[in-house]
Structure 1
Amino acid sequence: MNSQPIIQMKGISKAFSGNIVLEKVDFEIMPGEVHALMGENGAGKSTLMKILTGIYERDAGTVSVRGSEVHFKNAKEAEMAGIAVIHQELNIIPYLTVTENMFLGKELTFGKFGMTKDKEMKQKTKEYLNRLGIDIDPAIEAGNLSVGQQQMIEIARAVAANTEVLIMDEPTAALTDREIEALFKVIHSLKEQGVGIVYISHRMEEIFQICDRISVLRDGQFIGVKAIPETNFDEIVKMMVGRQLGDRFPERDTTIGSERLKVANFSSKGSFENVHFTIHQGEILGVAGLMGAGRTEIMEAIFGYRKVQEGKLFIDGKETKIKSPYDAIKAGIGFITEDRKSEGLVLDLSVRENFSLTNLNKISKKNIISTKEEASFVDEMIQKLHVKTSSSEQLVKSLSGGNQQKIVIGKWLGINPKILILDEPTRGVDVGAKKEIYQIMNELTKLGVSIIMVSSELPEILGMSDRILVIHEGKVSAILNKSEADQEMIMQAATGGNKK
């Protein structure tokens, strides 16, 4: 590794309306290193990166690129200096080809009327993709590609712009295992080319797999930097949250009761076939499988959001017909969706309004909302779930990811569900908030709530589930007891290598 940092940030401070977000933070990136930037949601990671890329003005401190102090006024200036960002929400135009996306705004032209050099751009696109070991047809429309492939186009576009520092924000959040493997190969390739990578992720396992160093922020302050070989999971967690977190997963001591839900022979054309499983009172049933296996589609069908051609549902031994989410809610089923921002919350509404949306019956009298009942209910949820908010009127979009997820959960707790479906409940949530969500799940199961938890994180599946349902290509591949399951066994079933 070169001894001269590409980027050096010293004493960075930033406040919004008197609220200190960053205070004297240091951060550096070396050529050819993958440097993890970690911290709980709200720790200041995004603000620090926005200052680096010229989106925010710093209040104090210096930013240097290759030893020279810089003061970027916008993201374009940062990009011209060799700093690029791969956002969690990709900037791909789906109806344009791979080549058109690669050269968007930077088209190669000739002649007086600016005719585009289509053949040359297509050839260069192929070269940039090949350089990263990516096999994608430059002529295909980007919208026909998977999220992982679209992400590769963004990386290739950054490489084409001679990027020296690449900031990756939750890069594996929506990727399959195979796509994550391909991404890591590309990251290794970029390292060999001397590119410095800032890697922002809450997935501790991949941080220790792919990164060289970790810098930790807590409450806007720089806590320290550690080389991967010289640290461990527990030490990093303590740096992030300021305390020992204890075991990652709370101990399960709930008594499992009688059968609560039975899904019999569920089939939906093109999504899943002949799905059959049960869940009991107080039980957590983990649902594992590769992305695209049909896990979410099965959950949507149980909730009445997706039609089934065949199959029956039984709740507490009685056949229950669910044709819509309204029917599901009446039957006591809550559904915390995978995408909290577009499906779970109304971001431009307040904490109060979001909590109230699914609980109008609880807080209304003769179809008129009781402000007293609403305030009491919302305050109870805020305290019960430990939501960090300035007030119930704060807009949800201004909260951290972990606090947003608590509100999504709280919306459904108000209906006193019998069955709660959690689809990727801790995606994009820091370790402290994850532990709190796990504790909420445990408390619910002690009250007899049955929880179906879909997760792509195998440690989470193994740490929180009483039994594990594995889905492969729309079919049940295995149902495993916690005592017999391990990561290898689950992956074998998820890839079709093990049958129930």
Structure 2
Amino acid sequence: MTLRMKRIVKSFHENAVLKEVDFTVEKGEIHALLGVNGAGKSTLVKILSGQMKADSGEIWIGERQVSLSSPHKAIAAGIGIVVQEVDTALFPELTVAENVTIHEWMKGSAFVNWKKRKERAKQLLQQVGLEIAVDRLVSDCSLSEKQQIVIAQALSRNVQFLILDEPTAPLSETETTTLFQVMRRLKESGVGIIFISHRLPEIRAICDQITVLREGKTVLQSAVSLQTDDQIVQAMLGKQLATLKEKEPRIRETPLLQANQFYVPKLAKNISFTLHEGEVLGIAGLVGAGKTEIARALVGQDPSSNPVTIKGKQWMIKHPRKAMEAGLCLIPEERRKEGILIDFPIDQNLSLPHIHKMTKIGWLDRQKERRLAKEVVEKLGIRASSPMQTARLLSGGNQQKVSIGKWLDTGASVFLFDEPTKGIDIGAKVDVFSIISSLAEENKGILYFSNELNELLTVSDRILVLYDGQFIAERRINETTLEELMSLATGGIQGGTKHQGSRTS
């Protein structure tokens, strides 16, 4: 059976997002859907999952044309979706069994046979290879387990085609391997999978076919094996991606932020480091190493009992407001949950840290707010129909620019970026790198927390390797390799000794 989307058109006001897009996926295949942020992927997926209606075009499943005017109708047609923020698809205070079988229960009788319901949940979970106590609360499950629960939930509705939207972005390498095993199992059972990812190695490892969208049009449909990485990137960008120049590290000597035996509550460990003016200091660590915990402690979200020194002055940061006063700001990993107000317009998001300057006797000056938004939108190249567009309707890369942009004119001297390129495409990554470089040229200090080690070699001047909550090595980018960083970050050999994550840098 084949799912076909033919000549799909969608516009928002005067902005044409999809321009007669064609997309085809077969049952029993894994099909990659690629494109830079703003290419139209999210809109196409929303139409396919019934969250949005196309202006024109046709959707066929086999020989039958279908109308997917609501999520309910998409589900009835056999189409399921696993969104990037899986928590939004689950009820955290219900059990695993209740979540997996929620849709079957909702259409059943008022009487609940709990024994049968638990057995049904176990059967569905076995299909995705997840062995877990079905009486366990979903709030106690890991992110990887929650993903598998959502997939099992889709199987309970007899899913024929499953959309996975950036499913590996928050996962560790081990969790990604587990997900791929589930995907292969579903493929063998005849489910067609639409896999959205920006990671080409993953696409080569798991996908059969590839479709690339660019500027709202289908520009490439092919077997993955027939395309090189350069050809795929060229299709996404419309031009050959220029190789980023090998940079020389900035050698800076003026201390900006000094942490000496700084206590990180969530890690129950002390760390020490120095960030200089105009320096991009990369913090290299794999998932679970403690990057986010350090970032949150530094800005007072998880207050430390120890001070930090900023521009020679000691600060005890017990609250994010105190961090702002000290000149620290955080661009968090979960931008849709913590970086922006997803249901508010761009201009209101960008004005948040500036409200005190834009209000007089309790009244907000909307003209000032809109002037600021216009300047930031133009400066960062945020692609939107207007500064009043709702943040939810922006692509991931443009949402990230909003998350960064609100801090630009606050007087902040230290910018903390926690996994800033997570879930954004190649073009948007280059834009983020450019913003960071500009901040460094303004003598701002940047802490760049990432598990993308190749990115750290591109953007950083100096790298601290984080392992098990401790800095265990320091390298300038012209003195190390990707292989060495990976070895260090995974607890490998350093100077003939397997490090235990016990010392500070």
TM-score of the aligned structures, taking structure 2 as reference length: 0.89
The change in CA–CA distance for 1:175 and 1:480 in structure 2 (over 3 A counts) is same
Match runs of 1:452-471 below 5 Å? 452-471=447-466
Alpha-carbon displacement from aligned partner over 1:378-416 (angstroms, at most 9, x marks no partner)? 333222211223333333333322222212212111023
Structure 2 residue aligned with 1:426, among 421, 442, 461?
421
- 1:426, 1:254 → 2: CA distance? 22
Q: 1:315 to 1:15 in 2, by over 3 A?
A: closer
Structure 2 gaps, min length 5: 493-497
User: Could you tell me how far 1:15 is from its partner in structure 2?
Assistant: 3.0
Alignment of 1:41-56 (within 5 A): 41-56=37-52
C-alpha contact (below 8 Å) 1:468/1:481 kept by paired residues: yes
Q: For 2:100, which of 76, 99, 102 is the aligned residue?
A: 102
Alignment of structure 1 residues 117-132 onto 2, 5 Å: 117-132=113-128
Q: What does residue 296 of structure 1 align with?
A: 292
Distance 1:249 1:227 in 2: 32
Give how far 1:153 is off: 0.9
Displacement of 1:48 in angstroms is 1.7
Q: Hey, what's the Cα distance between the residues in 2 that align with 1:302 and 1:392?
A: 31
Alignment of 1:472-491 (within 5 A): 472-491=467-486
Match of 1:213 in 2: 209
| 1:409 corresponds to 2:404 | yes
Which residue number corresponds to residue 495 of structure 2? none
Partner of 1:11: 7
For 2:407, what is the secondary structure of its paired residue? helix
Report if the CA contact (8 A) 2:359-2:365 is conserved: yes
Report the residue type matching 2:270 in the other structure.
Answer: N
User: Which residue of 321, 334, 357 corresponds with 2:329?
Assistant: 334
Q: 1:270: Cα distance to partner?
A: 4.1
RMSD value, Cα: 2.8
1:409-436 deviations in Å (ceiling 9; x for gaps)? 1211102332110112122222211111
The answer to whether the Cα contact below 8 Å between 2:130 and 2:148 also exists between their aligned partners in 1 is yes
Three-state SS of the structure 2 residue aligned to 1:245 is: coil
Do the aligned partners of residues 114 and 403 (structure 1) sit closer, same or farther apart at CA in structure 2, a change above 3 Å counting?
closer
1:306 aligned partner: 302
Instruction: Report the residue type matching 1:392 in the other structure.
Output: P
Q: Select 1:133's aligned residue among 129, 152, 162.
A: 129
Give percent identity, aligned residues only. 39
**Residues 57-105 of structure 1: CA deviation (Å, up to 9, x unaligned):** 3333322212332223432333233221111222111121111111113
Task: Note closer, same or farther for the CA distance 1:369–1:68 as it changes in structure 2 (3 Å cut).
Answer: closer
Q: Which residue of the other structure, out of 17, 31, 34, is the alignment partner of 1:21?
A: 17
**Distance in structure 2 (CA, Å) of the matches to 1:19 and 1:279:** 43
Give the counterpart of 2:377 among 379, 382, 387. Answer: 382
For the Cα contact (< 8 Å) 1:279–1:285, is it kept in 2?
yes
Give distance in 1, aligned partners of 2:124 and 2:320. Answer: 46
Native 8 Å contact 2:249 2:461 kept in 1: no
Matches within 5 A, 1:261-410: 261-309=257-305, 311-360=306-355, 374=369, 376-410=371-405
Contact 1:257 1:448 in 2 (8 A): no
Q: What secondary structure, in the 3-state scheme, does the structure 2 residue paired with 1:413 have?
A: coil
- The 1:190–1:477 alpha-carbon spacing in structure 2 relative to 1, beyond 3 Å, is farther
CA distance in 2, matches of 1:389, 1:73: 25
Sort the Cα spacing of 1:102 and 1:258 in 2 relative to 1 into closer, same or farther, 3 A.
Answer: same
| Comparing 485-494 and 143-152, the one that deviates more | 485-494
| Contact 1:250 1:439 (8 Å CA) reproduced | no
Partner of 2:91: 93
Residue 183 of structure 2 corresponds to residue 187 of structure 1: yes
**What does the per-residue CA deviation read over 1:346-385, in whole Å, with 9 as the maximum and x for residues that have no partner?**
3344333322221346657899866676555433322221
Question: Could you tell me whether the CA contact under 8 Å between 1:288 and 1:468 is conserved in 2?
Answer: yes
- Counterpart amino acid of 1:469? L
Q: 1:348 to 1:222 in 2, by over 3 A?
A: same
CA contact (8 A) 2:265 2:297 kept: no
Deviations 1:194-253 (A, max 9, x none): 221101122333223322222111221111213222223332222222223312578456
Q: CA deviation at 1:177?
A: 2.4
Q: 1:233 and 1:27 mapped to 2: Cα distance?
A: 21
C-alpha distance in structure 2 between counterparts of 1:354 and 1:55, whole Å:
24
SS in structure 2 at match of 1:329: helix
After TM superposition, give the deviation of residue 481 of structure 1 in Å. 3.0
Go from structure 1 to structure 2 and tell me whether the alpha carbon gap of 1:364 and 1:252 turns closer, same or farther (over 3 Å shift): farther
Q: Whole-Å Cα distance in 2 between the matches of residues 17 and 377 of structure 1?
A: 23
Indicate if the aligned counterparts of 1:272 and 1:294 stay in contact, CA closer than 8 A. no
Contact preservation (8 Å) 1:261, 1:316: yes
- Residues 247 and 363 of structure 1: CA distance in aligned 2, closer, same or farther (over 3 Å): farther
Relative to structure 2, which stretch is displaced further, 374-383 or 128-137?
Answer: 374-383
User: Could you tell me how far apart the structure 1 residues matched to 2:416 and 2:400 are?
Assistant: 14
Match of 2:113, as an amino acid?
A: K
**Among 195, 199, 205, the residue aligned to 1:199:** 195
Alignment partner for residue 440 of structure 2, among 431, 435, 445? 445
- Pair 384,461 (structure 1): closer, same or farther in 2 beyond 3 Å: same
Deviation at 1:151, TM superposition (A): 0.7
2:265–2:303 CA contact under 8 A, matched in 1: no
CA contact (8 A) 1:345 1:354 kept: yes
Moved more, 216-225 or 374-383: 374-383
Q: How many residues of Structure 1 are paired with residues of Structure 2 in the alignment?
A: 493
* Worse-superposed segment, 136-145 or 11-20: 11-20
324-333 or 418-427: bigger deviation:
324-333
Query: Given that residues 263 and 277 in structure 1 are in contact (C-alpha distance below 8 angstroms), is that contact kept between their aligned partners in structure 2?
Result: yes
Gaps of 5+ in 1: none
Which amino acid letter does the alignment assign opposite residue 260 of structure 1? Answer: L
Match of 1:58 in 2: 54
Kept after mapping to 1: 8 A contact 2:101/2:156: no
- Tell me the alpha carbon deviations over residues 276-331 of structure 1, each in whole angstroms, 9 at most, x when there is no partner: 1122222212223233332112112211222223x341223443333322332222
Deviates more, 1:55-64 or 1:412-421: 55-64
SS at match of 2:103: coil
Using the TM superposition, give the Cα deviation of residue 275 of structure 1 relative to its aligned residue in structure 2, in angstroms. 1.0
